């Protein structure tokens, strides 16, 4: 059962989402996302799909299962899904409540997702469960900062943005580790706030 | 950080303009008889808020965190410097604009330096410094 509050928040934001994010952030982050997503291979689980703004950065010909908690976001993503040169199967689904069997995917990819998942460590544990042993987790995320004054700014911003959408101060790298992944690489894209994270599910 | 020239210039101009606006606000709000510490803390808070407002104005062109963090930093720094300066000396509106613009430029340079120090890759368990 999807978290109704989170779902309603993103449903409400969906019609304005492209205007808010695409022209600025997506153009700026595009080259970094392209580089990260170029490593996508095998059977991929992607979240959160949103309005599909990440789709143009996907390598061609992949078999991707994409999730988002918001049905309105997925409605807006249909046009981009249709033009993707590969297969994207989009589902309205809460990461906390995925019906996939254990060890289902070769790779899990997230893009600005764990700023919004209500219980991030639990969500990451759910991803750990569905990832095959040895499978990779690739993340493009914004996080809190360890450094003043940036840490203070992210905390202040979060008081405002939490009501509208994402948190700005999540310790996502620590959360990934807490969920049982082994982190293999962290690349700071902007300060220590925007980053790519690579991790693996260690074989049992 | 982005080295594309359009973003470099855009970031710089946005921060200089915001600094000038906050500098002018300091001149408008703070009186010459104010306690300089109260003026400083109040204007730091107002400056940060103005940075947030500025972010919503330019986010469409300059992005998310890359716009928000420098602008809030500029607002805070300008509020601190100009907010404290106004009660300490005779201060004109033009000085507020110039000092504020200068603070915006300095803030942007600090962000570039901080970014150069923090950017890069860590591998295999060396990531303890990351949030």
Residue-wise pLDDT for B50-70, tens only, equals: 999 999 899 888 888 889 999
pTM for the model: 0.88
The pLDDT value given to residue A203: 81
Contact A190 B73 (CB under 8 A): no
Quick check: A134 pLDDT over 70?
A: yes
What does the domain layout of chain B look like in residue ranges? 35-113
pLDDT in tens, A61-102: 999 999 999 999 999 999 999 999 999 999 999 999 999 999
Query: Is B59 touching A (CB cutoff 8 A)?
Result: yes
Contact A183 B124 (CB under 8 A): yes
Q: Tell me the average pLDDT across A26-34.
A: 89
Q: Could you give the percent of chain A with pLDDT greater than 90?
A: 67
ipTM for the complex shown? 0.85
Alpha-carbon gap, residue A183 to A81, rounded angstroms = 30
Number of H helices, E strands in chain B: 4, 1
Q: Which two tokens stand for residue A141?
A: 């995320």
- Between the two ends of chain A, the Cα-to-Cα distance in Å is 30
Alpha-carbon gap, residue B112 to B8, rounded angstroms = 10
Residue from B69, B117, B122 to probe the interface with A (highest A Cβ count within 10 Å):
B69
Residues in CB range of A82: below 8 A, 6 or more apart: none
Contact by Cβ (8 Å): A44, A64: yes
Three-class SS of A143-193: CCCCCCCHHHHHHHHHHHHHHHCCCCCCCHHHHHHHCCCEEEEEEEEECCC
Strands A194-200 and B120-123: unpaired
Mean pLDDT, chain A, whole residue set: 91
Q: Which residues 78-107 in chain B show a CB within 8 A of chain A?
A: none
Contact by Cβ (8 Å): A31, A194: no
Q: Is B108 helix (H, G, I), strand (E, B) or coil?
A: helix
Query: Is B2 touching A (CB cutoff 8 A)?
Result: yes
Q: Which two tokens stand for residue A197?
A: 């994270």
The pLDDT value given to residue A2: 64
Contact B60 A195 (CB under 8 A): no
Residues in CB range of B85: below 8 A, 6 or more apart: B26, B91, B99
Residue closest to B15 by CA, chosen among B82, B80, B74, B100: B74
Residue closest to B75 by CA, chosen among A3, A168, A156: A156
The pLDDT value given to residue A172: 94
A161 band by pLDDT with thresholds 50, 70 and 90: confident
């Amino acid at each position: 059962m999807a978290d109704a509050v989170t779902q309603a928040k993103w449903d409400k934001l969906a019609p304005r989402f492209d205007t808010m994010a695409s022209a600025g952030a997506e153009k700026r982050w595009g080259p970094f996302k392209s580089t990260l997503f170029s490593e996508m291979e095998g059977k991929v689980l992607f979240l959160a799909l949103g309005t599909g703004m990440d789709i143009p950065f996907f390598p061609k010909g992949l078999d991707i299962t994409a999730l988002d908690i918001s049905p309105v976001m997925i409605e807006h993503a249909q046009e981009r899904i249709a033009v993707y040169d590969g297969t994207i199967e989009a589902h309205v689904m809460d990461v906390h409540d995925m019906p996939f069997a254990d060890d289902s995917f070769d790779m899990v990819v997230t893009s600005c997702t764990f700023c919004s998942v209500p219980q991030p460590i639990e969500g990451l544990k759910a991803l750990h469960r569905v990832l095959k042993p040895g499978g990779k987790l690739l993340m493009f995320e914004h996080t809190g900062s360890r450094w003043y004054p940036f840490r203070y700014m992210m905390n202040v911003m979060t008081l405002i943005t939490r009501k509208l959408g994402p948190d700005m101060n999540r310790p996502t790298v620590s959360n990934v580790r807490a969920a049982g992944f082994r982190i293999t690489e962290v690349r700071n894209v902007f300060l220590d706030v925007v980053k790519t994270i690579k991790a693996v599910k260690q074989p049992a | 950080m982005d080295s594309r020239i359009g973003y470099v210039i855009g970031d710089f101009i946005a921060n200089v303009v915001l600094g000038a606006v906050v500098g002018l606000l300091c001149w408008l709000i703070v009186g010459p008889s104010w306690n300089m510490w109260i003026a400083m803390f109040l204007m730091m808070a107002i400056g940060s808020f103005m940075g947030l407002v500025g972010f919503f104005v330019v986010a469409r062109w300059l992005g998310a965190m890359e716009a928000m963090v420098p602008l809030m930093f500029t607002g805070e720094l300008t509020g601190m410097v100009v907010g404290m300066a106004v009660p300490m000396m005779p201060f004109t509106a033009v000085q507020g604009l110039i000092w504020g613009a200068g603070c915006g430029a300095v803030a942007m340079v600090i962000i570039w330096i901080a970014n150069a120090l923090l950017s890069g890759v860590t591998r295999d368990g060396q990531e303890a410094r990351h949030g």
